[in-house]
Structure 1
Amino acid sequence: MSSPAKPPPPRSSPPLQNEEAQRPSPSLPPPVPVASTSALPPSSPPPVADELDKEYPPDAIVTYRHLLSPQSLTPSNPLRVIGHCDVDAAYAQFEGVRLGLDKTVPIAVQQWQGLIAINYPARAFGITRHMNVSLSSLTISPFPHFFSPAESYLVCQIMEARKRCPELIACHVATLKDGEDEPKYHENPQITTHKVSLEPYRKESQKIIKIFQRCVPEGEIEKASIDEAYLDLSLPIRNLLLTRYPHLSILPPNSPLGLDTPLPPAPKLDWESSEWGIPPSPISPPPKDPSSDSEEGGGGREGNGWSDVALWLGGEVMERVRGEVEKELGYTTSAGISHNKILAKVCSAYKKPRAQTVLRTSAVSRFLRPMAFQKIRFLGGKLGDAIANEYGAATVGDLLSVSLEEMQRKFGEESLWVYNILRGIDHSEVKEKSLAKSMLASKNMRPPLTALEQGQPWLRVLCVELVGRLKEARGETSDGETGEQGSGVWPKTLVLSWREADLHHNNAGSSNKSKQLPFPFHRPLSPDGPILKIATRLLGEILASNSSLKPGTKPIRIINLALGFTGLERGEEGQRGIEGFLRSGASTSAKVGKRKEVELDEERNAVAGSSTPSTSSSSKKLKNDRPRPSSDDNDDDEEVSISDATWTCPDCSKILPIPSHSELDRVKGEHQDWHIAKALQEETVGSVASSSSSGSKREGIGKKSTTTLNKKKKSNAKENVGGLGGWLLKK
């Protein structure tokens, strides 16, 4: 049996072509030592130069405008530098660091009896996530009746893995069970009592992103998944170019083309002996244009221009970033650096693990043409299969002879992006992920749920996970305080989704169905609070028919249960002000405890409208960033007319404009929040009054305001209003 392969020792960064260039100088500091790389994988023979190489565009001529004009920092700028960084066998590394294991120890991450991640030492034994194992070759009998054939196959994986590597450390992912407030690493989790949680991995991912942001504060960071991210290094590299080559910061006098004058010749870089680069495609450079000096601007197929220098510097920056991740967290990474996201992504996996690759324009043809085109992002799945079947193609090179007109005739005008991707052209931007519009926690039910009593423990488990993620988005600390970054984040709706088993099989089910209710703002945020009450109510409505089945009627059997938030948004300034007022009031007023009791009594007395199951139209609504108001999901009719596009408050008689029907609930909710905040403020003022007569007067105001609010809530019991004091449940 072979032993696990040890990681390769660190090697130095790509050398420059001559010794003089390697000495420190103001214009070209010595390269940063490389944290790692491994030997290049066996490569196919260099392709013979042919007409298809001309399908790939050459480097553009770099001008002073590209370097000096802020408006030129666009996706088409030849000095654009994009990095893609991927954590090597992320889940396995996370577990290895958590357990303090040596990097040479073979590790597999286990989810129930299946493998979801294998580190590189374990792969040396031939262990993979998709081993070809037949059930007949192993003795696992009998399988539980609720395991599908696919799940039974997963049971075989871990057994086969241990046969191949007895020293394998199998770490089960963290799980949640009823009664716990956070995921834990249980010794023997059971699929019937525990729920898988990837929260520990998400937290490690956030640590890595923060290192990226700290190391390249001028760059843009886009988190692509839990273990990978894109980094737009264009602006940092532009500044680095001007620092290392200060003569580029001044436009030469008497430049005939002004800012469109090509840059002077770039320094020569020894890509052939570097560990970063890929040899260029074997094609002669195009004839020089007599009207311009392509060598000065870095144009042409041969490269070695300023766009290549920018990528070289991008390689240095990326190595520093990767070194910081490994130094602080102990995680090795692999990276790709190129001029766009697609190329950076495909080349980041070229020399895994613990390495990086720089893909310059002159090498794109040689790199892409022999590649299986379905390995490129977005070209797999059904689209890739359709293209492969239509043209009998397997590699990128097989598709280069297909004209744009032919591709658009077969697959529509939008196939232009496919045509471009095959040629290494991609103008998509690196954008920081905005606030997620939804969150979801789900659990496959084994055996299927048929009664509310069965589902209640699982509902709390889902609530714990969902509340934890919402607190993280809000930036809340353990004492409930909200950080500045997440302040005001709140979902509009709580959605309960489920999938039912068919009549004959427990594990084959219908399409997803869902029910939803508005989610009221409240503090503190707890898994045992309104979220659990709303979820319990919705599940009770779903399974209500099972308690009174007619003869011949099949019961509802839920095989998947999911709880989610939709419509997450940062609240308006007014809402955040109310939230801040509540926090400050809690610390300064002695009446807060009593006030909370009054608010809870109001919640218990409020009447909640009934919810309705989603139809095909409501399923589309769930995908909308701004769902329609909850009144549209209520069986009760609205009592307030909006024919005049205004709404009159019954308490203060203020007339408020209604921009549209969809804005009615928002306007009413925000105005009601104002009334509540005003009443609470008056109570707070009354609690600190020194004079007894003044205190009595303030107390009367507070009682009057509270009475007014109670009357308002009773009169508007059928209205689904959002915000503080919004939709509340029956106790």
Structure 2
Amino acid sequence: MSICTIIEHVRLQIPSDVPLAVQQWQGLIAVNYAARKAGIQRHCTAREALAACPDLKLVHVATYANGEKEPKYHPNPSYATHKVSLDPYRRASASIFKIFQRFCNIVERASVDEAYMDVTDIVNSKLLGMFSNLDENSEAPDVEWANLGTIYENSEASYVPTDSHIDNNDKWCDWQLAVAAKLCAEIRDSIHRELGYTCSAGIAHNKTLAKLCSVLNKPNGQTVMRSSQTLGFMYSMPFQKIRNLGGKLGNFIEDVLQVETAGELWKFSVDELQAKFGRVTGAWLFGICRGIDSEEVVHRNVAKSMMAAKSFRPPVKNLQQIQHWATILGTELYTRVIDDFELNQRWPKNLVIHYRCISQSAPRSKSCPFPRRGELFSPDTISTKISALFKNSPYAFPCVRLAASATGLGKDNSVGMIDISQFVAIRRDAGEDTAINSDHKMNMHAHETASTEKRQKNSPESSLMKGQVTLDQVLQQNCNQTPQESESKIEDTRLSESYDKFGLSPGDIRRFFTNATASTDSSGPDIVPSDLSVTKSTNEMSSCDKCNKMIPQDQWIEHKDFHFALQLQREDDSGRKLVLTTNDGSKKKRKIDISNYFKSRTG
């Protein structure tokens, strides 16, 4: 049974034995089993279906009308004014897949109502726990198949080729299937208990067999395909029912080989099949008709893109009509993008429109960047872009089809980003207490002291004192700087001191606010770090006439002493006698060791 009919049974609280079909305009897109028994098939018209089964319950799919932000079940939707929406079925499918993922982490989405699940690792882990006392040479005990679903058994003897690669006596393979069948029953029970939906399943050792046997016990059952029964099952199977053989390739094989069943293909060797259909296709065909399939289940449970489309009968001939449908398409696409983001945290990269005019056999397309998440506040944003893209498109009228798609779905970069408000806070009012608590002051003082000692240790004066550089090298380094460079270095030093004082690293965003000053604009609050009290600096700068550096007033005396020490060193190196004025005013003649001077200054 299609997921559409199952959902409508649950939504309308209609018993499953009541004939029901889902209608889209005048055609049927889904028919339940009760209606099929009455001879109703998909794609017949609603009038034909009612003629065949007067008790048939017809449910039209939800549609968008102009201006609606959600699809609704309108009693009499019009093709000329409404747009079909399958969103209710997509949302139900997403709920089912969430349950799948609770039980298994390898789920391949085949369609809105079909999926493949690889439970090999889960099953093997359970088997190791069940038979931990056995070794690899132990014979597997017999499997109890009761309450595990329908176990497929051949009803008649079938031709089994002698070159079969299938081991019919492998009991451990049967144990894998038995554990998988129990797990499958738990999944189906969870879906029915939580959502009210029924589903069928096939349990086998590969995707092809699981798909083929899943239809044997519908609408609400599961079938287990044992390895020993595979060849008998495949022998009479119409080969065009096999995955990937239902289209052009299947028709081509039937015409070339004049066969209808998989068993009829067994008479051709692998070399013969490769000669007719190529090396890869021939080898694959040789195995697949015997139930051998090595294709892995690939984890894929979300769509890579999403599209909203509308065909026009009669064709649309003016931009005003296009804008009407752009509004509806934009609304549907907006809803699906938001739903996908809430479920999978993905966001599209591109918005693409596809359009076809009556004189064209193939559609044309135009694209633009999809609105960023912070820019998308309503469906109107998408609708406006759709209209703009179409307006700038050549050869667009008369238009027979228009579609809008969101492509490049990927992880949204803004997910997990930290809001800047976490780093800053509103400045407190003047009347509030802005003092930092005493413990924090003590920590800041200790940190400032350690930082000062570190700067003194790495200063040019300290290096000079230790003999790592000469005095002339220090002087040359300082005097070669321009006033602008000197001022810049001083400012960098002050910023570094601010980082040290408040325990900030240069990469910390709070550093941008450490020198914030009070705003003179009373219209808005200042933004400062929540744990810092910031005041305006009043330390003026003065230019040194010896090195042209800009020196803060509170460092001026120390800077003059530094130049005096340089002068002493130069005079000492030239052999001249020095006159040093001591504290008592007396004059003494002696040679001065510059290192002793700094030791006395810093001791």
Per the shorter chain, which TM-score range? 0.5 to 0.7
CA contact (8 A) 1:221 1:430 kept: yes
2:426–2:526 contact (8 Å) kept in structure 1: no
SS in structure 2 opposite 1:222? strand
Distance 1:583 1:559 in 2: 50
2-structure distance, mates of 1:265, 1:563: 57
Match of residue 226, structure 2, among 343, 360, 384: 360
Cα pair distance change 1:583/1:316, threshold 3 Å: farther
Letter in 2 for 1:389: D
SS in 1 for 2:351: strand
Matched AA of 2:172: W
How far off its partner does 1:589 sit? 7.8
Query: For residue 257 of structure 2, what is the aligned residue in structure 1?
Result: 391
Find the residue that maps to 2:313 and give its secondary structure.
strand
1:540 aligns with 2:391: yes
Distance 1:307 1:281 in 2: 23
| 2:18 partner SS | coil
Tell me what 2:119 maps to.
233
Confirm or deny that 1:335 pairs with 2:209.
no
- Residue 288 of structure 2 corresponds to residue 421 of structure 1: yes
AA of the residue aligned to 2:363: N
1:644-692 C-alpha deviation (Å, 9 max, x unpaired)? xxxxxxxxxxxxxxxxxxxxxxxxxxxxxxxxxxxxx89x969xx8933
Please, what TM-score do these two structures have when normalized by structure 1? Answer: 0.56
- Call closer, same or farther: CA 1:163–1:282 in 2, change over 3 Å: closer
Report whether the alignment pairs 1:472 with 2:336: no
AA paired with 1:401?
K
- Give the Cα separation in 1 of the matches to 2:41 and 2:426: 61
Give the 3-state SS of the residue equivalent to 1:691 in structure 2.
Answer: coil
Write the letter of the residue equivalent to 2:404. Answer: L
Pair 1:278 & 2:153 matched: yes
Give yes or no for contact 1:222–1:230 (8 Å, CA) kept in 2.
Answer: yes
Q: How does 1:200-349 map to 2 (within 5 A)?
A: 200-214=88-102, 216-217=103-104, 219-248=105-134, 251=135, 261-269=136-144, 275-279=150-154, 282=157, 301-303=167-169, 305-349=171-215
Letter in 2 for 1:495: V
Amino acid at match of 1:422: C
In 2, distance between residues paired with 1:522 and 1:162?
47
Q: Any conservation in 1 of the 2:148–2:185 contact (CA below 8 Å)?
A: no
Task: Give the whole-Å Cα distance in 1 for the aligned partners of 2:28 and 2:153.
Answer: 34
Higher mean Cα deviation, 189-198 or 271-280?
271-280
1:441 and 2:308 are equivalent in the alignment: yes
CA distance in 1: counterparts of 2:70 and 2:401, whole angstroms: 21
2:39 aligned counterpart, secondary structure: coil
The partner residue of 1:173 within 24, 42, 61 is 61
User: Between Structure 1 and Structure 2, how many residues are aligned?
Assistant: 444
Structure 2 counterpart of 1:101, one-letter code: I
In 2: Cα distance, 1:181 partner to 1:570 partner: 25
Amino acid of the structure 2 residue aligned with 1:229: A
Please say if residues 214 and 223 of structure 2, whose CA atoms lie closer than 8 Å, have aligned partners that are also in contact. yes
Q: Aligned equivalents of 1:460 and 1:583: distance in 2?
A: 36
Pick one of 363, 381, 397 that aligns with 1:556: 397
Match 2:16 to one of 81, 103, 109: 103
The match for 1:498 is 355
Contact 1:285/1:302 (<8 A) preserved: no
Distance in 2 between the 1:285 and 1:446 partners?
55
The equivalences for 1:509-524 within 5 A come to 509-524=360-375
Task: Name the aligned partner's letter for residue 65 of structure 2.
Answer: K
- Post-superposition shift, 1:464? 1.0
The structure 2 residue matched to 1:691, chosen from 515, 518, 534, is 518
In structure 1, distance between residues paired with 2:399 and 2:159: 65
Q: Find the aligned partners of 1:516 and 1:285 in 2 and give their Cα distance.
A: 56
1:116 aligns with 2:29: yes
**1:129 corresponding residue in structure 2:** 42
CA distance in 1, matches of 2:390, 2:145: 66
> Residues 584 and 175 of structure 1: is their aligned pair in 2 closer, same or farther, counting only changes over 3 Å?
farther
Letter in 2 for 1:200: P
Q: Match of 2:541?
A: none
Q: Give the distance between the partners of 1:312 and 1:158, measured in 2 at CA.
A: 44
Tell me if structure 2 keeps the 8 A contact 1:490–1:570: yes
Counterpart contact for 1:271–1:278, Cα < 8 Å:
no
Q: Following TM superposition, by how much is the alpha carbon of 1:362 offset from its aligned partner in structure 2, in angstroms?
A: 0.9
Q: CA deviation at 1:533?
A: 2.5
Superposition deviation, residue 269 in structure 1: 4.4
Separation in 1, partners of 2:278, 2:166: 33
Q: 1:423 & 1:409 partners in 2: Cα distance?
A: 19
**Cα gap change, 1:423/1:569 in structure 2, threshold over 3 Å: closer, same or farther?**
same
**Residue in 2 that maps onto 1:455:** 322
Mark the CA change 1:433 to 1:523 in structure 2 (over 3 Å): closer, same or farther.
same
Q: Deviations for 1:554-581, whole angstroms, at most 9, x for unmatched residues?
A: x821101001122222245xx5466x53
Code of the aligned partner of 1:178:
N
What CA distance in whole angstroms lies between the structure 1 residues aligned with 2:160 and 2:26? 56
Shift of 1:301: 4.5
| Residues 601-637 of structure 1, C-alpha deviations (whole Å, 9 max, x = no match) | xxxxxxxxxxxxxxxxxxxxxxxxxxxxxxxxxxxxx
Listed one character per residue, the Cα deviations across residues 385-410 of structure 1 (whole Å, up to 9, x for unaligned) are 00000000100011111222222222
Q: Which runs of 5+ in 2 are unaligned?
A: 428-508, 529-603
- Provide the residue aligned with 1:403 in structure 2: 269
The CA deviation at 1:274 is 7.4
What residue in structure 2 maps to residue 568 of structure 1? 409
Q: Which amino acid aligns with 1:469?
A: R
Cα-to-partner distance string for 1:141-182 (whole Å, 9 max, x where unaligned)? xxxxxxxxxxxxxxxx21121122111110000111210011
Provide the secondary structure at the position in 2 that maps to 1:433: coil
Asked if 2 retains the 8 angstrom alpha-carbon contact of 1:276 and 1:357, the reply is yes
Say if 1:122 and 1:281 are closer, same or farther in 2 by CA, change over 3 A: closer
Shift in Å, 1:520:
3.9
Distance change (3 Å), C-alpha of 1:520 and 1:165: closer
Normalization by structure 2: what TM-score?
A: 0.67
Cα distance in 2 between the residues matched to 1:274 and 1:336: 10
- 1:242, distance to aligned residue in structure 2 (A): 2.3
Are positions 1:164 and 2:52 aligned together?
yes
Aligned mates of 1:273, 1:581 — CA distance in 2: 52
Q: CA deviation at 1:317?
A: 1.4
Cα 1:111/1:272, change in 2 over 3 Å: closer
- Whether the 8 Å CA contact 2:109–2:302 is kept in 1: the answer is no
Distance 1:365 1:212 in 2: 30
Contact 2:150 2:224 in 1 (8 A): no
User: Does structure 1 retain, via aligned residues, the 8 Å contact 2:145–2:178?
Assistant: no
Deviation at 1:120, TM superposition (A): 1.0
Task: Name the CA distance, whole Å, in 1 between partners of 2:334 and 2:96.
Answer: 23
Taking the aligned partners of 2:28 and 2:352, their CA distance within structure 1 comes to 31
Assess if the C-alpha contact under 8 Å between 1:515 and 1:538 holds in 2.
Answer: yes
CA contact (8 A) 1:89 1:120 kept: no
Q: Partners in 1 of 2:351 and 2:42 — Cα distance?
A: 35
Q: Decide whether the 8 Å contact of 1:286 with 1:300 is kept in 2.
A: no
Report percent identity of matched pairs. Answer: 38
Pick closer, same or farther for the CA change 1:238–1:167 going to 2, 3 Å: same
Following superposition, the deviation at residue 522 of structure 1 comes to 4.2
- The answer for unaligned runs of 5 or more in structure 1 is 1-87, 132-156, 252-260, 288-298, 477-484, 503-508, 546-554, 591-680, 702-731
Provide the aligned C-alpha RMSD in A: 3.5
Amino acid at match of 2:331: V
SS of alignment partner, residue 295 of structure 2: coil
Given that residues 462 and 563 in structure 1 are in contact (C-alpha distance below 8 angstroms), is that contact kept between their aligned partners in structure 2? yes
In the other structure, the counterpart of 1:581 is 419
